[in-house]
Amino acid sequence: MRSAVALLFLGLACLVAARKHENALNHILRRQFGDSANALDGSEQWFTQQLDHYDPFNAKTWQQLYFVNADNYRPGGPVFMHIGGEGPISSHYVYNMSFIPLAQKYGALVLALEHRYYGRSHPTPDMSTENMKWLSSQQALADLANFQMAMSKQFKLPAGTRWVTVGGSYPGCLSAFARIKYPHLFYASTSVSAPVRAKLDFLEYNEVVAASLGDQCTAAVRNATAQIDAMLNNADGRAWLYKTIPTCTLPISYEDTQVFFDSLSGLINGVVQYNGEQSGVSTITTICQTMLQPNSDPLTQLLAVLRQLMKEEGASCMDANLNTMLAQLSSSDWAVGGDMRAWTAQTCNEFGFYQTTTSAKTPYATGRLTLDYSLLQCQQGFGKMYANPPPVDWTNQYYGSDHPDEARIVFSNGSIDPWHALGVTSDLSQEMPAVYIKGTAHCADMSQPHPTDSAELVAGRQKVLDTLDAWLSHK
């Protein structure tokens, strides 16, 4: 299932493909950490976490996944805390990221903590609506704070050890929020591709998609989607699309056609959001080359693009059924609803981020992806719990939106990434700089350098590292 409630979920917290790195630890580290030495080899570890940090009478606990890399640690070095988000984490989070050279330079301990309700960090037996009440960014930040204090004791870190939080996408928000809400625990933060401003109707998402595709390509996509939108208004047109694309089921209701356009736009938006970050798959360039073939029909070309994107995802058909989508979203089974149900709950409860096609600048010539369509998923998926729209104004007031008042937070965003529209792209102060990287996509600067990186990406990544370097060099 793909949903307009957030393509942020698509990236599973900016996971980057990288090979696992393993090193034997030396005897000095083992003497330093004692009984904790078995956690230092990059293997999975489990932390006993509180269920509810805001109820002192609730003694329930659960097991939260984390990873440790102490290959470069020197006593007195800082800690890099990589925050997990709306998907599973792995040892890649502590070995194969852009900040590793700084960890080597300063002798840092590197930790990564999986977010509650995602991956394998399940705080409750199932995902029933009643059991989802402990899922929020506030509880997740309290998890981080509790983890920070426990790890400081477990690894016998000296007083005054500097903790630097790292995160991209939704975890990029959490990284900034951790510095804002727990400045006594976290010394500095890097916030990558983070939509720190909650917004109900995120119409800007598709506006940036259009800008990233370019005028000619956007015009072709609009032409094709206008034809498709017209076809969806009659039974013959829907039957033709069912056989031609194909869709997994025949769209019958108006709501089914909304799911269809959700799936269609999701395929293209996914390419734009992560443009060029994975070899061997479609990019903005390849999509637009297909759409702009001389003497071609835009509809024919768009259908070719969609079939290619489905092939790359290993999908034989496109979702176009509301009941199927809601059945998955509503399931209390971890194996069925899983990360998508959890992330949908957070959008319904805190952030919004609903990507509509209500703007005149959208590349999709349809009015089907409305705010009501996304809110329906909250209501049908969780019932009375999310009967009202998410309180985005409260969220922005609580965290400071895109103008927080803090220090030592560096924000980075890519111009192609649609999420930059809700991020910090201009310096807020000398101690809260913004790095805006032209021509790059979602979380691109979090990965380690690659020979194909553009000059802008290389410079942007280095600027973030130089900023952290300057802060860590201060005594």
Q: What is the dihedral of CA 115, 118, 119, 123, to 10 degrees?
A: 80
- b/e sequence 202-215, b meaning 16+ C-beta within 10 Å: bbbbbbbbbbbbee
191 catalytic residue (yes or no)? no
| Residues forming beta bridges with residue 199, ordered by sequence position | 352
Among the listed residues 123, 56, 114, the one whose alpha carbon sits nearest the alpha carbon of residue 89: 114
Is residue 417 part of the annotated active site? The answer reads: yes
Determine which one of 71, 402, 417, 453 is catalytic: 417
Expressed in percent and rounded to 5, the helix, strand and coil fractions of the chain are 45, 10, 40
Termini Cα distance of the chain = 50
Q: Are 228 and 238 in contact (CB under 8 A)?
A: no
Q: What is the DSSP string of 110-169?
A: EEEEPPTTSTT--SSSS--GGGGTT-SHHHHHHHHHHHHHHHHHHTTPPTTPPEEEEEES
How far is Cα of residue 346 from the mean position of the Cα atoms in its chain? 12
Strand 434-437, strand 409-414: pairing: parallel
DSSP state of 24: P
DSSP β-bridge partners for residue 437 = 414
Asked if 437 contacts 415 with a C-beta cutoff of 8 angstroms, the reply is yes
- C-alpha 365/C-alpha 222 separation (Å) is 5
Residues in the chain: 475
> Which of 121, 169, 331, 412 is the catalytic position?
169
Strand order in the sheet with 61-69: 45-50, 61-69, 109-113, 79-83, 163-168, 188-192, 409-414, 434-437
372 is catalytic: no
Longest Cα pair distance anywhere in the chain, in angstroms? 74
**Strand 352-354, strand 45-50: pairing:** unpaired
Please tell me the distance from the alpha carbon of residue 276 to that of residue 6, in angstroms, as a whole number. Answer: 20
Which one of the listed residues 143, 193, 442, 453 is annotated catalytic? Answer: 442
Q: Are 83 and 144 in contact (CB under 8 A)?
A: yes
Question: Which of the residues are catalytic?
Answer: 169, 417, 442
